[in-house]
Amino acid sequence: MNDNENLAEKYRIERYSDLIGQDKAVDEIKTFIKEFPKRKAAILYGPAGTGKTSLAIAVAKENGLEILELNASDLRNRAKLEEVLKPATLQQSLFKKGKILLMDEVDGVTGTDIGGIPELLRIIETTKYPILMTCNDIWQSKFSTLRSQCKLVEMKALPASTISIILKNVADKEGIRREPMFFTQLAIKSQGDLRAALNDLQSYAYEPISIDLSEKRDVEDTIFNILRKVFKERRDFLDLYDSTKMSLDEILLWLEENIPKEYKNLALAKAYDALGKADVFRGRIYRNQSWRFLVYQNIFQSAGISYSKSSPLTGFTKYEPPKRVLKIWMNNQKLERKKSISKKFARLVHCSSKRAMRDFILLKPVLQQAEIQKQLKLSEEEIEFLKK
Amino acid sequence: MGQSDIWTEKYRPSKFEEVVGQQEILKRVKSLVQALNIPHLLFAGPAGTGKSTLALIIVKELFGDAWRENYLELNASDERGIDVVRQKVKDFARTKALENVPFKVIFLDEADALTREAQQALRRTMENYTNTCRFILSCNYSSNIIDPIQSRCVVFRFKLLEKKDVSEVIKRISEKEKLTLSEDVFQTLYESSEGDCRRAINLLQATASIAMDINSEMINMIAASAKPKGIRVVLDYALSGDYVTARDKLLEVMLKESISGTDVIRMIQKEVWNLQIEPEVKVRITEKTGEIEFRMTEGSDEFVQLQALLASFVLAGQGKST
């Protein structure tokens, strides 16, 4: 750490591809920009530290647009909006580049900003450039009209596993060396708020590094070594996973993939039983943020699996990286359409979209009829999906 | 041409008189509506028995043409949290009803999808807005609704529709749509929809999109093609000891048919009884199935848990169990 720069600002992303774990929001905002001026404004909403402002900045960078920002520190009453924002929405930008307007933290438009929201609505009507807004709680009643006028893009709280990966990357670049469990703990503590996690990381970075076993060993174990220790050597269980940068959740996926390579029949069933129990504790950690349960996940995930067989294994096994996540990710791209169609259908026929998803195959011939597609206001992409 | 409409909507009854089945409930609800004062209502019963339909009829009778402005429909399994529900209810309940009825109506479908905590919050919301809003809740099992809510509602239990009721609906539609049905179609539709009227109508429309002349074989064919396939294949591989193929197939089926782990576990639970294994092993496996399903509702990783289950099928294939 050689300067006082805030880590969250220093590593603010600039490209869509850098924004981890928000694929859906990125897709939606891309569509919004593509279809402009079909919708004049979009609201990025979600908990703090999920990347709302970062996404807005990425939109500008990706499209080579100038960005005009108005945030909570500016006065946002009617007069100010009329004075600053309105001309900007109508004028050409400097150097004839296109531009977008970013109204950060509209939550902050409060009682003192008299007439702020009605003026904002008027500006949205007349603007020649896309307006992006960020907001934590979009469901406040003062936003009800604004909601109906804007495209809503949800940013979800990031899972701890994602945050812990990002923390580790930043720590590497900053030369902050800590045991892997430290990142997992910070990630869980942050409850999905990446900015808070990065701030935490920064505040701990100056503390002297505690010298423990994993630090002394000073070599990073590869995942292959770790798998071998679980399956074959059967020792060092308690700090087995401290010697890797990989998170417990990631290791769980590796074990899941490779258990059948080592065990058959009864041992196989026992090993998956142990893995299943590790996963139950993992679920409890996530649900209640009670990371005391980490020790249990840890033990079932190491010794639990290892003792599926009475004697340790020998020989060499070629382990393989987990394939499941990739497969699911690829499939989710396809599923998105099915979800959006089901949602539209569900609204029309008074049922839940889950129910519509379940009946999808049955409904497909009906959904393929042009008249019904019109009635459901299906998009071109959705109609294309139904042809397959 | 009826082809241009979704039949479950096109033929949804809009008056009390048009409803088949549930006659006892109809009588009581009708008298409440005529008095222009309904209490909070709780409709409990299986899918496709007329809960949403009755809710819609109530608001249409109460508000006439202005029903859309005085009616809010929310689906608890789609709304992400109770906060959203509460906010929407607040926004909706703030303004007064337009007609001579002193309240608006909120229909909260699949209310049993709400957690207990969310239901507690809902109970407060129901109390706070009781002057301006009446709630109609629907659920599959009233046991999943907390007592304080049940005690604030008049509970109506919807029965599974009988064959003659579903047949009546099918007959009406087929006459309007000029379909020719062979006599055994009614039985087939009833069986494969398990008394779920919505499903029966969807099945009829899906079949009618292929031909206007319909026999029971065609219905069976369409119904079978709509059922997720491959679960049996997965289990057979596991029983034969080929765990890795079983696992790959399982993921493939889940992704291709986009079915959730909970759907899979339900199918497996049914399929267990068709397998060639000792009855004693079947019972053990069923116990395991139940445990795994419970873990999923608790938020465990569906696929990790299903793999644990698959591994015990490998054992079962050798006549053993964990």
pLDDT digits (tens, 9 = 90+) for B179-212: 999 999 999 999 989 889 999 999 999 999 888 9
Please give the model's pTM, rounded to 2 decimal places.
Answer: 0.55
State the DSSP code for B73: E
End-to-end CA distance of chain B: 59
pLDDT value of position A75: 52
> Regarding predicted confidence, which is higher, B103 or A139?
B103
B13: confidence class by pLDDT, cuts 50, 70, 90: very high
pLDDT value of position A42: 93
Whether the CB-CB separation of A110 and A69 falls below 8 Å is answered with no
Q: Which residues, 6 or more positions from B184, have their beta carbon under 8 angstroms from its beta carbon?
A: B215, B216
A9: confidence class by pLDDT, cuts 50, 70, 90: confident
Phi, psi (rounded to 5 degrees) for B223: -60, -40
Q: Residue A218 pLDDT more than 60?
A: no
A325-372 pLDDT per residue, tens = 777 777 776 678 888 899 899 988 888 887 888 788 888 888 998 889
> Closest Cα to residue A381, out of A44, A31, A16, A22?
A31
pLDDT value of position A214: 38
Residue A53 distance to chain B (closest CA, Å): 23
CATH of domain B231-316: 1.20.272.10
B132-165 pLDDT per residue, tens = 889 999 998 888 788 888 888 899 999 999 999 9
B170: confidence class by pLDDT, cuts 50, 70, 90: very high
The residues facing B181 across adjacent strands are B214
Inter-chain CB proximity B308 and A275 less than 8 Å: yes
A3: confidence class by pLDDT, cuts 50, 70, 90: very low
DSSP assignment of B299-313 equals T--HHHHHHHHHHHH
Q: Residue A2 pLDDT more than 60?
A: no
Q: Is the peptide bond before A37 cis (omega within 30 degrees of 0)?
A: yes
- Tell me how far apart the alpha carbons of residues A51 and A49 are, in angstroms, rounded to a whole number: 6
Work out the burial of residue B252: count CB atoms within 10 Å of its CB; fewer than 13 is exposed, 13-18 middle, 19 or more buried: middle
Helix A248-262, helix A324-349: angle, nearest 10? 110
State the DSSP code for B157: E
B279-289 pLDDT per residue, tens = 988 999 999 99
Residue with tokens 């703030």: B94
Q: What is the mean pLDDT of residues A199-227?
A: 59
Element containing residue B118 per DSSP (H, E): helix B116-128
The residues facing B44 across adjacent strands are B139, B157
Residue ranges covered by each domain of chain B? 22-157, 163-226, 231-316
Average pLDDT, chain A: 80
- Tell me how far apart the alpha carbons of residues A147 and A29 are, in angstroms, rounded to a whole number: 16
pLDDT value of position A387: 85
B78-103 pLDDT per residue, tens = 775 677 777 888 888 777 776 678 88
Average pLDDT, chain B: 88
Of A256, A266, A350, the CB nearest to B304: A256
Phi, psi (rounded to 5 degrees) for A47: -60, 165
Of A252, A273, A364, the CB nearest to B322: A273
Q: Residue B75 pLDDT more than 60?
A: yes
Q: What is the mean pLDDT of residues A59-63?
A: 87
pLDDT value of position B201: 95
Whether the CB-CB separation of A101 and A16 falls below 8 Å is answered with no
Domain formed by B22-157, architecture: 3-Layer(aba) Sandwich (3.40)
> Regarding predicted confidence, which is higher, A181 or B66?
B66
Of B9, B75, B244, the CB nearest to A348: B9
Q: Give all domains of chain A, ordered by start, each with its CATH number.
A: 22-154 (3.40.50.300), 162-306 (no CATH), 331-387 (no CATH)
Element containing residue A215 per DSSP (H, E): helix A213-217
> Regarding predicted confidence, which is higher, A213 or A329?
A329
State the DSSP code for A48: T
Whether the CB-CB separation of A226 and A234 falls below 8 Å is answered with no
A304: confidence class by pLDDT, cuts 50, 70, 90: very high
Q: Which residues of B touch A366 (CB under 8 A)?
A: 6, 202, 205-206, 209
Domain formed by B163-226, architecture: Orthogonal Bundle (1.10)
Distance of CA A146 to the CA centre of its chain: 25
A80: confidence class by pLDDT, cuts 50, 70, 90: low
pLDDT value of position A217: 34
B29-54 pLDDT per residue, tens = 999 888 888 899 999 999 999 999 99
| Cα–Cα distance list, B238 to A271, B191, B312, B316 (Å) | 16, 31, 9, 9
Whether the CB-CB separation of A43 and A106 falls below 8 Å is answered with yes
A1: confidence class by pLDDT, cuts 50, 70, 90: very low
Q: Residue A51 pLDDT more than 70?
A: yes
pLDDT value of position A246: 79
Cα angle vertex B246, ends B240, B248, to 5°? 155
- Tell me how far apart the alpha carbons of residues B192 and B217 are, in angstroms, rounded to a whole number: 12
Q: Which two tokens stand for residue A310?
A: 């009475």
B210-244 pLDDT per residue, tens = 889 999 999 998 888 877 778 999 999 999 999 99
Chain B interface mutation, best of A138, A143, A155, A279, highest count of B Cβ atoms under 10 Å: A279
Q: What is the mean pLDDT of residues B59-77?
A: 89
A86-119 pLDDT per residue, tens = 766 766 655 556 788 888 777 766 545 566 777 7
pLDDT value of position A118: 79
Whether the CB-CB separation of B290 and A363 falls below 8 Å is answered with no
Q: Which residues, 6 or more positions from B292, have their beta carbon under 8 angstroms from its beta carbon?
A: A276, B265, B305, B306, B308, B309
Q: Residue B251 pLDDT more than 80?
A: yes
Residue with tokens 């099918």: B170
Residue type, B139: C
- B67 CB-side CA count, 13 A: 14
Which residue does chain A place closest to B310, by CA atoms? A269
Residue with tokens 């220790």: A229
Q: Is A67 helix (H, G, I), strand (E, B) or coil?
A: strand
Q: Is B298 helix (H, G, I), strand (E, B) or coil?
A: coil
Phi, psi (rounded to 5 degrees) for A243: -90, 10
A158: confidence class by pLDDT, cuts 50, 70, 90: confident
State the DSSP code for A207: S
Inter-chain CB proximity A366 and B244 less than 8 Å: no
Lowest mean pLDDT, pick from A104-108, A118-122, A134-138: A104-108
- Tell me how far apart the alpha carbons of residues A161 and B15 are, in angstroms, rounded to a whole number: 53
> Closest Cα to residue B170, out of B191, B153, B141?
B191
pLDDT value of position B135: 93
Give A 358-377 residues with CB within 8 A of chain B: 358-366, 368-369, 371-372, 375
pLDDT value of position B237: 93
- The complex scores an ipTM of 0.76
Cα angle vertex A337, ends B219, B87, to 5°? 105
What are the residue ranges of helices labelled H in A289-359? 294-299, 305-306, 324-349, 353-358
> Closest Cα to residue A275, out of B269, B321, B310?
B310
Residue with tokens 């008298």: B31
Chain B within 8 Å of A337 (Cβ-Cβ)?
no
- Tell me how far apart the alpha carbons of residues A64 and B26 are, in angstroms, rounded to a whole number: 63
